[in-house]
Chains A and B, each alone.
Chain A
């Protein structure tokens, strides 16, 4: 079983739409959670950390449900510049290892 599983998409949405990505993780000992963004042929970059209380950064909202081992990312008012692959990432603290989902592809259409 993979450590982190995501729906690969692709998601094709019009500008201004709201889109949600989901991810599940298998290791209940996971301690830290993140969403990374990866543009085509570029390195992954941190979009936001995910906290149990939920957190928001502008148009982006992340939620964590530890009981269900489930992480979500909501993007409101999508922009063309949001087109990218979004990676769900968990960290186990043991060995400080990061486990990556395969990514969800988003294309925002004019």
Chain B
């Protein structure tokens, strides 16, 4: 059972380059999220999706775009990378709790991105 898979695991970009991070989940979860984690800042939400074809901005969306064309995939794009986007990026997915009580977030292994 793969859970949440992120690719790539590591990447070095030059300022101004673009790239796409892929997140795939096999748990049929409705909700998917992209976070960035920086020292002393904790996990901050970039964008999220409440279902296929929907996306919404989180706390720190500037400089990023996302798409969710298929329920199992959530893509994060950097159009023109900047050194301030050097970070560890985590994708997560979750289900609607409904009558099941607490939901939880399941995380991918992370992508370490360095922009030089």
Binding site for B on A (CB under 8 A): 8, 32-34, 41-46, 49, 51, 87, 89, 91, 93, 95-98, 100-103
Nearest 6 CB-CB pairings of A with B = A102-B42, A43-B107, A100-B43, A32-B102, A49-B102, A96-B31
Contact assessment for B43 and A44 in the assembled complex, using a CB-CB cutoff below 8 Å: yes
Report the separation of the CA atoms of residues A45 and B107 in the bound assembly, to the nearest whole angstrom. Answer: 7
Q: Which residue of B lies closest to A101 (CB)?
A: B42
Binding site for A on B (CB under 8 A): 30-31, 33, 35, 40-43, 45, 48, 50, 56, 58, 90, 92, 94, 96-97, 102-105, 107-110
Chain B residues with CB under 8 A of A95: 48, 50, 56
A96/B90 contact (C-beta < 8 A), A43-B110, A44-B43, A102-B42 known: no
Report the separation of the CA atoms of residues A100 and B45 in the bound assembly, to the nearest whole angstrom. Answer: 9
A46/B42 contact (C-beta < 8 A), A32-B97, A95-B48 known: no
Contact assessment for A97 and B42 in the assembled complex, using a CB-CB cutoff below 8 Å: no
Contact assessment for A32 and B103 in the assembled complex, using a CB-CB cutoff below 8 Å: yes
> From residue B39, how far is it (CB to closest CB) to chain A in Å?
9
Report the separation of the CA atoms of residues A51 and B105 in the bound assembly, to the nearest whole angstrom. Answer: 17
Chain A residues with CB under 8 A of B56: 95
B42 in complex: contacting residue of A49, A91, A100, CB < 8 Å: A100
A34 in complex: contacting residue of B40, B102, B109, CB < 8 Å: B102
Report the separation of the CA atoms of residues A89 and B43 in the bound assembly, to the nearest whole angstrom. Answer: 10
> From residue B89, how far is it (CB to closest CB) to chain A in Å?
11
Report the separation of the CA atoms of residues A42 and B9 in the bound assembly, to the nearest whole angstrom. Answer: 11
Contact assessment for B42 and A87 in the assembled complex, using a CB-CB cutoff below 8 Å: yes
Q: Which residue of B lies closest to A100 (CB)?
A: B43
